[in-house]
Structure 1
Amino acid sequence: MLAPTHMVAGQAAFVALSLAVGHAPSWPEACLAAGAALLPDLDKRHGVVGRLFPWLSEPLEYRFGHRTLTHSLLACIVLAMLLWPLLPHGLWLAVVAGYTSHPVADMMTPAGVGWFWPARWRCVLPGNERYRMRAMGWGELAFAAILAVATIPLLGMAQSKPGTGSVIAAAIGDIATARTRYDAEKGNNRWSLRLEGRDNLTLADVNGNYPIIGPWKAAGFLIDTEGGPQTVCRSGDCNWYAESAVAVKGERQETLTRHIDAEHTSPAALMNALKPLEASGEVYLIGSLTARGIAAQAPSVAVSGDDVSLSYAEPRVIESWGARPLRDLLITVQVRHSPGDTVPKLALSEETAGVIPAELRPWLHEDDKFSRDR
């Protein structure tokens, strides 16, 4: 097949795969898929890519022959494995889809390809030679035109409603698969969880579509509901049990973080510091601090003695902390906002009034009134 046909086939394969897995394709990614679709012809010294890298194409063609090693299933698998830890999800999809489309399209020619190389078999598609396409023939021209026309509506569907076309994810409905996809693509979009399940305590159905706040443990989610944050997983350790779960990518957003590393402050000062950030978007607190008498608010606020752990806690939880001093703050403030919006810097005043110095704490009895009041 000709290079333009392979480029069109590479773009079509990438868009179709993006729609299947719920990825919103971009034009740079589509262009990359078109370029990757030419790479298997590195084993042809007179091809478009072969002429760019003669030092590689000539020995490949001489040693292995055309449509063998670089057109094989083995090459596609090795490429996908090598690039998986190196490329972002969208770029990885583009390269793998574009590259793999080339040998699949070449199967539709009379000569076929060595798909199962190093075996000598030549794979063709379809089996009847009368229906295969010859290079530069009318069949190849019609094939390229059909792919180009079909790609346009598929691209619109994948870009306008990312996640709703996640055919594979929807078919599986496994929360571990949903979590894997969320971990790979989170950050630049809002996410929701299309859930079918039940409450582990009341056994009531909890089917619905819920905004995802963040990940929970190894394979679960923290979601926003009318009754407050709830944990979802496929075990009895969470609030809700997921029988079927699909992570759905929504509209674009940006995520920015600010950091708090302070020895002393107060709940009032912390709330005042967070107010400008709340005006910019959704704010969540992740980290730890030390304070007396703070009540746990599962699942966002966990308390063990004086140690307080925050897991995607909203700023409103601070309102119930009263005026008690806060110490040893190590908190990441996550701000999710609309693209292009400016997020102000975080200015936290370090308050020491009423805070017992660390050197004196070992000398005070835990039940000492002075200790409790301070």
Structure 2
Amino acid sequence: MMSRTHIVLAVAATSLILGTADPIVLSLGAVCSQLPDVDTTKSFSGRILFPLSSYLEKRFAHRSITHSFLALSFFAILIFPVTFFGYQYYLGMVSGYFWGFFGDVFTKSGVALFYPSKVRAICPANPRLRLSTGSSAEWFVLFILVIFAILSIQINSAGGIVRSFNQALGLPSGAIETVNSDASRYLLKAHIKGRNAITQEPIEKAYEIIQPLNQNDLLVKDELGTTYRVGNSQESQIIASQMKIDRVAPITTTVTNIFLDDEDLYEKIAALPQERTYLSGTLTIFDTDGLIIPTHIDRYDTITLQPASDIAYARLIAATPQEVLRLLGDYYASGNLVVRIVKGK
């Protein structure tokens, strides 16, 4: 096979098998796909690594020892330290080397896959269907591989085969799976078709996703910051019939904790970033005379209150600092809050 065919085959197969569009991983696979041909000085890698290729060429037949599982095992052990930089990089290099020699199985001379056995693996059985290096048949195969590589990279750039399938169908259950896998890395928007659970009016609108609530529902907000529960449960304010997820921008997510022991809530909460900061947890509120937190049926309440005698228990689910300050900022509280801060990269 031509070196370019080895490269495209390695890129396409590595992208598909590892489910990646990472250019570093694919580039490493492409480079390593050239290494099996170091057993001849006429190859691209042989010219670069001439002392090694000259040594191997004098002692071993072409497509023998370097085109075998023995060489692959040695190569995998040799480059194992690469795992310290990233396991995907290591797998990309191993995959590239493998496809760099396995593609030659479809050539007329085949390869000695099980070296030191001299038996050659050749496919297909009909010699007329085997590839000759540089032939029109190989150029046709290269063309197909290029298309396959582009499709694989495109699909993985969009989040993988499962995500693309879910996007195509627009099923809410598939959308929630996508959110679960992407929410920590991307700011997401949900394009929702459905109906208002109370008025039954049709809805077709985009909402920013805050977080999944369970396996069936998402917590979202509109452009005004009003929160809604979207899904198919009885608690949902928006019943979704179709939901598609878009990646808006890469993000970093920081999670910290706030511990309070009969402390002023305002002092603790006012120090937090105000944009895309969400607080969850349970607080015990003291001296609650006059404390009233309204409830709504047409939106999702991120703060709910359970009164007791002279105290109250406030439950927060993805509440914003502004909302906590508005409703609870005048009180002292005890408890633990998980703070999730989302920032763009």
- For residues 35-91 of structure 1, give each alpha carbon's deviation from its aligned partner in whole angstroms, at most 9, with x where no partner exists: 8989xxxxx8641653142699xxxxxxxxxxxxxxxxxxxxxxxxxxxxxx99x88
For 1:338, the aligned partner's letter is: G
**Is residue 27 from structure 1 mapped to residue 23 from structure 2 by the alignment?**
yes
SS of the aligned residue for 1:319 comes to helix
Give, in angstroms, the shift of residue 33 of structure 1: 5.9
Give, in angstroms, the shift of residue 207 of structure 1: 1.3
Who is 2:320 aligned against?
314
Q: Which runs of 5+ in 2 are unaligned?
A: 35-63, 77-85, 111-122
Counterparts in 2 of 1:15-164, with a 5 A limit?
Answer: 25-31=21-27, 46-47=66-67, 50-53=70-73, 133-134=131-132, 137-144=135-142, 147-148=145-146, 151=149, 162=158
Q: TM-score, normalised by structure 2?
A: 0.63
Who is 2:304 aligned against?
302
Higher relative strand content: 2
Q: Distance in 2 between matches of 1:93 and 1:212?
A: 33
Q: Distance in 1 between matches of 2:320 and 2:89?
A: 34
SS of the aligned residue for 1:270 comes to helix
Q: Quickly say closer, same or farther: Cα 1:270–1:150, change in 2 above 3 A.
A: same
**Is residue 256 from structure 1 mapped to residue 276 from structure 2 by the alignment?**
no
Q: Distance in 1 between matches of 2:306 and 2:33?
A: 56
For 1:225, the aligned partner's letter is: D
For 1:192, the aligned partner's letter is: K
Worse-superposed segment, 232-241 or 128-137:
128-137
Q: Is contact 1:164-1:248 (8 Å) kept? A: no
**Is residue 204 from structure 1 mapped to residue 198 from structure 2 by the alignment?**
no
Who is 1:181 aligned against?
178
Structure 2 counterpart of 1:170, from 155, 164, 167? 167
SS of the aligned residue for 1:307 comes to strand
What is the number of residues matched between the two proteins? 288
Q: TM-score, normalised by structure 1?
A: 0.59
For 2:244, the aligned partner's letter is: V
Give, in angstroms, the shift of residue 163 of structure 1: 6.2
Q: Quickly say closer, same or farther: Cα 1:294–1:265, change in 2 above 3 A.
A: farther
% identical equivalent positions: 19
Q: Which runs of 5+ in 1 are unaligned?
A: 39-43, 57-86, 113-123, 340-374
Q: Distance in 2 between matches of 1:223 and 1:100?
A: 45
Who is 1:290 aligned against?
284
Q: Distance in 2 between matches of 1:149 and 1:55?
A: 29
Q: Quickly say closer, same or farther: Cα 1:315–1:12, change in 2 above 3 A.
A: same
Q: Quickly say closer, same or farther: Cα 1:262–1:34, change in 2 above 3 A.
A: farther
Q: Quickly say closer, same or farther: Cα 1:141–1:323, change in 2 above 3 A.
A: closer
Q: Distance in 2 between matches of 1:102 and 1:240?
A: 52
- What is the alpha-carbon root mean square deviation over aligned residues? 4.8
Who is 2:342 aligned against?
336
Q: Quickly say closer, same or farther: Cα 1:191–1:311, change in 2 above 3 A.
A: same
Give, in angstroms, the shift of residue 229 of structure 1: 0.6
Give, in angstroms, the shift of residue 320 of structure 1: 3.0
